[in-house]
Amino acid sequence: MIKNMLFLCMFYMGSNILHAQEKGLIEFGNVPDSMIVFTSPRPLITENVETLKYSSFWSIELLFSGNGFGAGCSYSKHLSPTLSLTALLGITGNRNSDELEYIDPMTGRTFIPNKVNSLYSFPLTIGMQKRLFQESLSESFRPFIGAGLGYSMILQVPYDQNGFEPDRRTLAHGRPAGYLSIGSAFGSEGRTSLSALIRYYYIPFSGNGIDSIKDLPMNDFGGLFIALGIAFGN
């Protein structure tokens, strides 16, 4: 009798211990894994986008037109990610469309028949440039439009087939100037980049104009230019 009671007690205690172990295993399995996340006190990668958006840069240009070659330089300052303020200086020659050079068989020098003046214009303008389609195009292709107003110096240098005439004075004239442009920049902004654009200058000369060829006065010293440039970021 006593043996039976001891057996029942041992069986009951063993079943309770086994049940407790199984319960403990289940509860332990239901405990979620712990995780500790460490946050850096400063960004691991420094973003320079804002710096580039408001940077400034210098550029030099080579100009091509019906008057020949020219050159230009500019300084631009970003006012916003898509808008910049630009100061532009251009240097180009001016001539009539029918000016042709000939060679003097006696001296071997070139000359232009009936030419009386060599003319040069130096437009200095302040304008705005607007970037287009920023959201849909990559940073390496940045189309833009621009416009500006300013003043142009027109240099009138006496000319004859033997060169410059020492007894005639060189004159400088000032006239208002303006331009419209459309083009695109290529390459990373904020570094060295290239640009190609079309720019139309309007430089009127009221009154009788200035003769480049005798009795053929010029009244407009602007025109259509193709410009290729390289920019250097600050």
Token code pair at residue 2: 């006593």
Q: Is residue 3 situated within a structural domain? A: no
Q: Is residue 29 situated within a structural domain? A: no
Is the CB of residue 195 less than 8 Å from the CB of residue 184?
A: yes
d(CA 93, CA 118): 8
Q: What is the pLDDT of residue 35?
A: 56
Q: Is residue 174 situated within a structural domain? A: yes
Q: Is residue 40 situated within a structural domain? A: no
165-186 pLDDT, tens digit per residue, is: 556 788 899 999 999 999 998 8
Q: Which domain holds residue 204?
A: 53-233
Number of domains making up the chain:
1
Q: Is residue 5 situated within a structural domain? A: no
pLDDT under 70: residue ranges of the chain = 1-54, 160-167, 189-190, 234
Is the CB of residue 204 less than 8 Å from the CB of residue 102?
A: no
Q: What is the pLDDT of residue 33?
A: 54
3-state secondary structure of 134: coil
User: Could you tell me the CA-to-CA distances from 34 to 6, 26, 37, 73, 183 in Å, in that order?
Assistant: 45, 17, 10, 63, 58
Q: What is the pLDDT of residue 75?
A: 94
Helix (H) or strand (E) holding 70: strand 68-78
Q: Is residue 43 situated within a structural domain? A: no
Give me the residue label for tokens 């210098």: 58
Q: Is residue 116 situated within a structural domain? A: yes
pTM of the model: 0.70
Q: What is the pLDDT of residue 130?
A: 94
Ordered alpha helix ranges (H), 34-86 = 49-53
Instruction: Assign residue 153 the CATH number of its domain.
Output: 2.40.160.20
Q: Is residue 216 situated within a structural domain? A: yes
Token code pair at residue 193: 């980049």
